Chain A
């Protein structure tokens, strides 16, 4: 009986979620996004996920960040080009190795 009730609750939650009414908190039965995964998602920027925020100003900054990345990709004459070069993984590693 207990199993049936739990099953019904789970089905109900799934339906509500499907309809967009309910956003469940992170829990053991869902894929939890830890901070390492978040870093990867932020690094990908244009992957299948976007990091968003419930705070309007934070969400706006996150959206602007994506726009910056797109600008850098399309307009090679802009400041972003140099900025991206300086942040290039190989440069970063090289300068670190030099120090070490």
Chain B
């Protein structure tokens, strides 16, 4: 890894046992290549992906299924999630996917463990047969879509530079025809208008739940501020879309952290990285987005050909990612939004010089965003007493005990993530 500081030594102490976790899901890379060429894609920033088999070989698939069976039975899991990913996972092809899903179903029946399967796709290849296949096997679908046609086609183009919006929207329609309402993932265009994106999703396409991801970047990149975009997006949601039942995952998770609840995504909020990724050559790695660090920085010495899923937790690279997700930089530890933010997404903390020992590359923006959320939300908060408490206080019908004094210093964001 030229130009990088030394990775942690292989004999570094393992993480505290009570911070380790039994994997409950795996990201399976069915294809290492993609049929489109998005301007912001993290995957191909690491040239090492070109050394991988283009699609998951049958022999590796067999090894994966063997290890999956061992994993779910050894750890007596009630359910396990398999997230099919890429590159573009549909490059795997229909016959292979149908066969894989049949094997997963057989495994489910043999073990009694519920296998939840989902797929993340750009939608370009989806036709009626694909949609029917997803329906047949109960596969949850997440579709990448970046807003209105002009917004989408500016960045999500094929290898000839042609926009992919029409095909993605066609995929949405085909999925709906078979009764699948896909999750929608957009990537924020910091210079774009969130109002346009919301109008396109909600008013034009009738989407009720979506996420707007922050563009992946490290401290070695030049980033554009995201504060303006997300504070506007928050206001749109808070003042209008939330009242119409629309969910925007990142916004709701910022809010959850601000009022002391757990985040439900690894993209924001304090918590361990628990993602396990399997590449097309069978390699087991931590969170795939860490590949943004480049130079094969996510490489471990573990492979489903020879190892069980849990074994990867013995690898120094995996341990570094897991430990880094729990051990924040000094700046983060002193921050008023430490728990609500959690240093942001782990890949955003990477730098060649200090590895993960940094606040997020978006730190100033995130802080301003959390301050904005708190300014908007805190005046709406009040503390309600239970009947028992009210009676003790001599207020048998007391409702709101008090408004929160929101002119005081901000809270740390999470009472549950105690410190």
Q: Is the CB of B415 within 8 A of A69?
A: no
Number of A-B contacts (CB under 8 A): 176
Q: By CB atoms of chain B within 10 A, which of A17, A48, A78 has the most?
A: A48
Using known A-B contacts A42-B415, A42-B416, determine if residue A79 contacts B24 with beta carbons closer than 8 Å: yes
CB-CB < 8 A to A92: which residues of B?
326, 417-419
Using known A-B contacts A26-B402, A35-B408, A48-B385, determine if residue A61 contacts B21 with beta carbons closer than 8 Å: no
Interface residues on A, range: 35 or more
CB-CB < 8 A to B159: which residues of A?
none
Q: Is the CB of A34 within 8 A of B408?
A: yes
- Stretch of B32-40, B66-74, B258-266, B288-296 on the interface side: B258-266
Q: By CB atoms of chain A within 10 A, which of B274, B388, B397, B401 has the most?
A: B401
Q: Is the CB of B256 within 8 A of A32?
A: no
CB-CB < 8 A to B395: which residues of A?
17-18
Q: Is the CB of B411 within 8 A of A50?
A: no
Cα–Cα distance between A77 and B389 once the two chains are bound (Å): 33
Q: Is the CB of A43 within 8 A of B405?
A: no
Q: Is the CB of A20 within 8 A of B397?
A: yes
Taking the complex as formed, is A4 at the interface, i.e. its CB lies under 8 A from any CB of chain B? no
State which of A25, A48, A62, A78 has its C-beta within 8 Å of the C-beta of B261.
A62
CB-CB < 8 A to B381: which residues of A?
38, 51-53, 58
Residue in A closest to B247 when the chains form the complex, CB atoms: A57
Using known A-B contacts A53-B377, A58-B380, determine if residue A26 contacts B416 with beta carbons closer than 8 Å: no
CB-CB < 8 A to B331: which residues of A?
none
Nearest chain A CB to B134 CB, angstrom units: 24
State which of A33, A42, A88 has its C-beta within 8 Å of the C-beta of B260.
A42
Taking the complex as formed, is A10 at the interface, i.e. its CB lies under 8 A from any CB of chain B? no
Q: Is the CB of A19 within 8 A of B271?
A: no
Q: Is the CB of B21 within 8 A of A58?
A: no
CB-CB < 8 A to B274: which residues of A?
82
Q: From DSSP, what is the main secondary structure of chain A's interface residues?
A: helix
State which of B382, B397, B416 has its C-beta within 8 Å of the C-beta of A87.
B416
Q: Is the CB of A50 within 8 A of B271?
A: no
* In the complex, chain B residues 214-261 whose Cβ is within 8 Å of any chain A Cβ: 237-238, 242-243, 252, 255-256, 259-261
CB-CB < 8 A to B21: which residues of A?
82, 85-86
Residue in A closest to B24 when the chains form the complex, CB atoms: A79
Question: B1-35 vs A: 1/0 string, CB under 8 Å?
Answer: 00000000000000110110110100000000000
Q: Is the CB of B261 within 8 A of A52?
A: no
* In the complex, chain A residues 51-72 whose Cβ is within 8 Å of any chain B Cβ: 51-58, 61-62, 64-65, 68-69
CB-CB < 8 A to B388: which residues of A?
48
Taking the complex as formed, is B327 at the interface, i.e. its CB lies under 8 A from any CB of chain A? yes
Cα–Cα distance between A45 and B418 once the two chains are bound (Å): 13
Taking the complex as formed, is B310 at the interface, i.e. its CB lies under 8 A from any CB of chain A? no
Question: B376-419 vs A: 1/0 string, CB under 8 Å?
Answer: 01001111111011001001111111111100111110111111
Q: Is the CB of B18 within 8 A of A51?
A: no
Q: By CB atoms of chain A within 10 A, which of B260, B396, B412 has the most?
A: B260
Taking the complex as formed, is B352 at the interface, i.e. its CB lies under 8 A from any CB of chain A? no
Q: Is the CB of B382 within 8 A of A52?
A: yes
Cα–Cα distance between A78 and B270 once the two chains are bound (Å): 19
Cα–Cα distance between A57 and B188 once the two chains are bound (Å): 23
Closest 6 CB pairs of A and B: A43-B415, A42-B260, A42-B415, A48-B389, A57-B242, A65-B261
Identify 20 residue pairs between A and B in the complex whose beta-carbon atoms are under 8 Å apart, listed by A's number: A31-B401, A32-B402, A35-B405, A35-B410, A42-B415, A49-B385, A51-B259, A52-B384, A52-B400, A53-B380, A54-B382, A58-B255, A82-B21, A85-B18, A85-B19, A87-B417, A91-B326, A92-B326, A96-B327, A99-B327
Interface residues of chain A, those whose CB is within 8 Å of chain B, are: 17-20, 23, 25-26, 30-35, 38-45, 48-58, 61-62, 64-65, 68-69, 77-79, 82-83, 85-96, 98-99
